[in-house]
Amino acid sequence: MMRIVAEDHSWGLRQTKKDYLRPMRNAILTLCLLIQTSVFAQEAIESRPSPLALATMRYKDTYVKITYSQPQKRGREIFGGVVPYGKVWRTGANEATEITTTRDIVLKGTLLKAGTYSIFTIPEKNKWTIIINRDIGLWGSYNYNQKQDVMRFDVPVAPIPDATYEPLTLKFNQRNDVADLLILWDRTSVSIPLKFIL
């Protein structure tokens, strides 16, 4: 069998024909992987029954974002039913709800350092316990760890007399450097006071 050898005189190296074909083989393999990946990327993404939702606000250099999944009422009894009283809830569906703040803020009088945190709640009939927790990227509240709590505080429940929120809705009611994070679902409203640090 004849072996082809070429010399690269600029480097003084000896290369075989196989060495010359290696970059071409790698390029062809990379191209095949890219084509395969793009084919899978073209497949339709199924929509979730509880779609992803965002609530955002900005004041000067501070940006605050809530990321949550938005379950629907669909004729069900929500609080005391789908969401039991007295149990830790992910404050949404699917992944636990998260809050991200680019600078320190104050939640109900307590300093929250810049960062990303999970928001858990414990709904009761007349009050909710709000929990800000260091663990993020959690599915539901199954792996909730109380030792990772940054803060806990209670807020009163306010009934919504003239409307029913079909989807769980988190939104900000901002007034310059103060705001309320509103959690609205069915005929229930909870308000978490927030203040920007100037």
pLDDT tens-place string over residues 99-116: 999 999 999 999 999 999
Query: Could you give the CA distance from residue 15 to residue 30 in angstroms, rounded to a whole number?
Result: 23
Task: Classify residue 185 as exposed, middle or buried by CB count within 10 Å of its CB (0-12, 13-18, 19+).
Answer: buried
Strand, coil or helix: 63 = strand
Query: Could you give the CA distance from residue 96 to residue 137 in angstroms, rounded to a whole number?
Result: 7
Domain ranges of the chain: 5-41, 52-196
**pLDDT for residue 97 is more than 60:** yes
Q: Supply the pLDDT for residue 17.
A: 55
More confidently predicted of 20 and 92: 92
DSSP lists the bridge partners of residue 139 as: 95
Q: How confident is the model at residue 36 (pLDDT cuts 50, 70, 90)?
A: low
**pLDDT for residue 39 is more than 60:** no
CA 131 to chain centre: 16
Q: Structure tokens of 6?
A: 């070429």
More confidently predicted of 43 and 95: 95
| Poorest-pLDDT segment among 2-11, 26-35, 61-70, 167-176 | 2-11
DSSP lists the bridge partners of residue 186 as: 165
The mean pLDDT of 158-178, rounded to a whole number, is 95
Whole-model pTM over 0.85: no
